[in-house]
Structures are given as structure tokens and as C-alpha cells.
Amino acid sequence: MSTALAEKNVSLTHTTDFLPLEGTDYVEFYVGNAKQAAHYYMSAFGFQALAYAGPETGCKEFASYAVRQNKLTFVLTTPLHPNNAMADHVYLHGDGVKVLALRVPDARSAWEETTRRGATSYQEPQVKTDAFGEAVISGIRTYGDTVHLFIERKNYQGAFLPGYRPWSNPYFAPNSTGLLYVDHCVGNVGWNQMNPWVKFYEEVMGFKNILSFDDEDISTEYSALMSKVMSSGNGFVKFPINEPAVGKKKSQVEEYLDFYRGEGVQHVALATDNIVETVRDLQSRGVEFLKVPTTYYDDLLDRVGPIDEDLEPLKELGILIDRDNEGYLLQLFSKPVEDRPTLFFEIIQRKGAKSFGKGNFKALFEAIEREQALRGNL
């Protein structure tokens, strides 16, 4: 195809959604010990065993466990040998998110449209089959060593994906904690890298910048960051992008970049429709959350107006509340789930609000700074 024709096609396809996304398909973590990590997400977060790939299924290089809760699928994968890309990833970054997999109606088209617009290919479209049908998978690189896989599974009826076999543990079937789906996934990028990645999501994936926060919005006495929220056209996939900003002390984003040894996923926000029950359950299973001072609740209702929930349990569990023009939201942030201060989770319940809790940023970041100071990294 001539360049002129290719450009014409690009401008033509801009009028329709050239990358229709049906939502997050799964989040895959590269970890040091997938068997134990899978057990942690089952016992602490309430996921159920779903599927397994490893030497017993003909996979000699890695072992991988898929766990599921409602529409959430996590995959925990570990290399079985050194001296390969997966082992290097774990060595460099520690446990972390490698793949944000997106469900698409057509994985070949998703790869062609995004690579034509400048994305670096991670995986050319590949058809994978087993007795349950076929799935088509392709992928592109995003910030750091993170990738997006495009998953086309309309002709696949198996538990997870070809290559995996159904997996369950007859002795252990933990109850759900009420976590439903991925609300958003946040990336931390380096100094002056937020806008180039915003441009990447706009140009390569057709996303829109729906919200921006500058360092005035997100600063405490000590540290600062900037953030822009990127959303797919239908709003099913949202990726806020953070970069550090100059403050008196080290930004939490810098601490992340130092310990993850580069750019990567900072947090994954998990939706619930009953945050009080979900957080109570998660805490009883040992998930640790950040705490804001109880003074946060003194003038809360003056700030956010009337809410449906009783204040006492929110205060007891440390749940944060914020309101925008469309409603309010309740949210809470876990401590990092690794020894390195890198990936953590957000638990979020939306009651109309489509924003991200700007009114909580200051209290939240002061709580993060107290943890940073304990680690000697502020």
C-alpha cells in the first residue's frame, strides 16, 4: 500500500472506532513464585482457581495460574529457568504487572490498526487452538516493559485460553470478597513522559484524555505528581498516567520508579458494589490498607454532602469518599502487595461519580508519605 493511501485509510478509519474494546480481559503478573502468588489472591482477595499451564500441559518454560472472581481474571506466571525475558523481568522489576489484556472482536485488526499508527509490536496475531475452539492473540508494547495483549475469544469455549487446562483445588474454594471487574489501571511513567504516553494512547489506540490533574491538584507539603486519565471511546477501559513532579521531597512516583527499576503499573482499581462488606472481608483475610487520620471524617459530610452509608463503618475501615457533578464514590487503597513499594490495589465503589477521588488526593498522599518515610524513601 502506498504511503498516501495508508494515510487516507488512517483518516477514514478515524471516523469510526478503529480499536473497539470490549473491556479488560485479564491482568497478568510476572512473579517469583506463581503457585504461592495464586494462593495469595485466592485466600486474601477471594479469587477462585480457574486454569493452569505448566510442564504438565506441555509448557516447559513457565508455570501459569489463572484465577477468577466475577468479571475479574488475574494470571500469575513464573519462569522455570533463568536467562530468558520472563526471568529477566522478574529479576529487574520484582513481582509486577506484565500484561494488561484487552478483549477485542478482532485481534488481527487491533494489531494492524495500532502498529500502523506507530505501536511497537510485541506479538503478531497468533491463532491458538485446543478442543474448546480457537482464540486469536496479538500484542503491542506500552510504557516500560508493560504490554497490551488483544484477546479475541468469540470462537473459544474453554475455561481460559488454549494452552491452559481447567484447574481447581478440591480442598480450597474461597468465597468471593465481592470484587467485580477492573475499574481502571494506572501507569507510573518517568519525568516528562506523561504527555508522550498520553499522545500514544490518543494516536495509537484512539483514546481520549478525559481528566487532567496538575501538581497543584496533587501535592502535599512534601511531594507532588501529575496525572492524565485516558479512556477508550466507550469508557470500558481507563488508563490514568502519572509522572512525578518537583516537591520538597521525593514523589511517590519516583519511589516507585526507583524500586520497579522503570515505568510500570502502579495500581489496579477493582470495583465492588458494597465497599464496606468487601473491605471488611479483605481486612479479615489479611489485606493491609493505608489509613488516613480520623480527623478526615470530622467535616466529611460538609465536604461531600449526604451519602447513603453510615459514617461509622466507613470511619472504622478508613474508607475515603469524594463527590463530583454526577454523584459520589467510595475508595480505599491497599499497601503495596510486594516487599518493593511498587504495585498496590484500589477498591472502589461508584455511586454515579465518574471521577477518581481528587478530593482525597491530599489525605491519601500524606498517608503514602508516612509509609514512604517509614521505608526511609521520602
Instruction: For cell 503495596, name the residue.
Output: 336
Part in contact with Fe ion (CB under 5 A); list of ranges 113-121, 303-311, 346-354, 367-375: 346-354
Compute CA distances 116 → 152, 190, 278, 299, whole Å: 19, 26, 43, 52
Part in contact with Fe ion (CB under 5 A); list of ranges 77-85, 103-111, 204-212, 263-271: 263-271
* Closest to Fe ion by CB, 162 or 357: 357
Residues 16-35 that bind Fe ion (CB under 5 A): none
* Closest to Fe ion by CB, 95 or 346: 346
The reply to whether 269 sits near Fe ion by the rule CB under 5 A is yes
Supply the minimum distance, in Å, between the C-beta of residue 333 and Fe ion. Answer: 8
CA distance 163 to 161: 6
The reply to whether 229 sits near Fe ion by the rule CB under 5 A is no
3-state helix/strand/coil string of 75-130:
EEEEECCCCCHHHHHHHHHCCEEEEEEEECCCHHHHHHHHHHCCCCEEEEEEEEEE
Part in contact with Fe ion (CB under 5 A); list of ranges 23-31, 192-200, 210-218, 262-270: 262-270
Grid cell at residue 352: 454515579
Q: Which of 346, 355, 368, 369 binds Fe ion (CB under 5 A)?
A: 346
For residue 118, how many other CB atoms are within 10 A of its CB?
A: 11
Part in contact with Fe ion (CB under 5 A); list of ranges 17-25, 55-63, 84-92, 341-349: 341-349
Report yes or no: 45 and 177 within 8 Å, Cβ to Cβ: yes
Part in contact with Fe ion (CB under 5 A); list of ranges 45-53, 103-111, 134-142, 343-351: 343-351
The reply to whether 110 sits near Fe ion by the rule CB under 5 A is no
Grid cell at residue 126: 497468533
* Closest to Fe ion by CB, 65 or 239: 239
- Residue from 189, 372, 178, 206 nearest 282 by CA: 178
Number of residues that bind Fe ion (CB under 5 A): 2
* Closest to Fe ion by CB, 65 or 333: 333
3-state secondary structure of 274: coil
Residues 233-252 that bind Fe ion (CB under 5 A): none
* Closest to Fe ion by CB, 39 or 267: 267
Question: Which is it for strands 23-30 and 72-79: parallel, antiparallel or unpaired?
Answer: parallel
Report yes or no: 309 and 330 within 8 Å, Cβ to Cβ: yes
Could you give the residue ranges of the DSSP H alpha helices within the chain? 3-13, 34-45, 85-93, 107-116, 194-203, 252-260, 275-284, 300-304, 311-317, 361-375
The reply to whether 290 sits near Fe ion by the rule CB under 5 A is no
**Contact flags string 148-187 toward Fe ion, x per CB under 5 A:** ----------------------------------------
Binding site for Fe ion (CB under 5 A): 269, 346
